[in-house]
């Protein structure tokens, strides 16, 4: 099973906005807990789980398919989730045993594993900005992308002015 990391950790890794050496690597059990916590809310397929974790972490954590799908299979083998084919996709749902395990894990951890990414004080807005930029890059029209570039350029200038005023 793969360990997951927050986006942008270290040079050349991920596609996040810059290196964030202070972001911790996600522990192996975090992906299990994250999947269960998402599925307790509603059934979903792998990509929906990836999106849900990314949204809940404010863009700070996007688990890979290479960690989600093997973990889903393991959870199914353990009887914590079941799967069925719906509209051509394998949809996963938490069992009663899975609900009990989820509650235990969340209580033991003090909440879902993505809370650290969203409770980072001043760090959370950076993760949210990175997510918004990624969404504009992937789904925005050329006009929206051009406007986003203008906004980011102005924001960068204002941030440097803030430092210069010090």
- pLDDT tens for residues 18-64? 333 333 445 555 889 999 999 999 999 999 999 998 888 877 788 88
Give yes or no for a contact between 35 and 87, defined as CB atoms under 8 angstroms apart: no
HEC secondary structure over 15-29: CCCCCCCCCCECCHH
Helix axes 65-77, 28-41, angle to 10 degrees: 70
Give the separation between CA 46 and CA 34, rounded to whole angstroms.
Answer: 12
CATH topology of domain 28-116: Arc Repressor Mutant, subunit A (1.10.10)
pTM more than 0.85:
no
Q: What is the pLDDT of residues 72-81, one digit of tens each?
A: 999 999 999 9
Between CA 153 and CA 67 the distance in angstroms is: 35
* Interval 127-136: pLDDT, tens: 677 777 878 8
């Amino acid at each position: 099973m793969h360990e997951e990391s927050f986006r942008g950790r270290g040079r050349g890794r991920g596609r996040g906005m810059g290196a964030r050496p202070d972001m911790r690597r996600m522990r192996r059990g975090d992906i299990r807990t994250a999947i269960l916590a998402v599925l307790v809310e509603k059934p979903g397929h792998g990509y929906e789980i990836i999106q849900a974790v990314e949204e809940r972490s404010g863009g700070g954590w996007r688990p890979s398919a290479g960690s989600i799908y093997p973990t889903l299979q393991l959870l199914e083998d353990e009887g914590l989730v079941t799967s069925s084919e719906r509209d051509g996709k394998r949809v996963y749902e938490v069992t009663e045993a899975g609900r009990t395990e989820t509650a235990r894990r969340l209580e033991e951890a003090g909440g879902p594993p993505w809370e650290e990414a969203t409770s980072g004080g001043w760090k959370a807005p950076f993760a949210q900005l990175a997510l918004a930029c990624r969404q504009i890059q992937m789904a925005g029209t050329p006009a929206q992308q051009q406007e986003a570039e203008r906004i980011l350029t102005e924001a960068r200038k204002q941030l440097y002015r803030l430092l210069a005023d010090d």
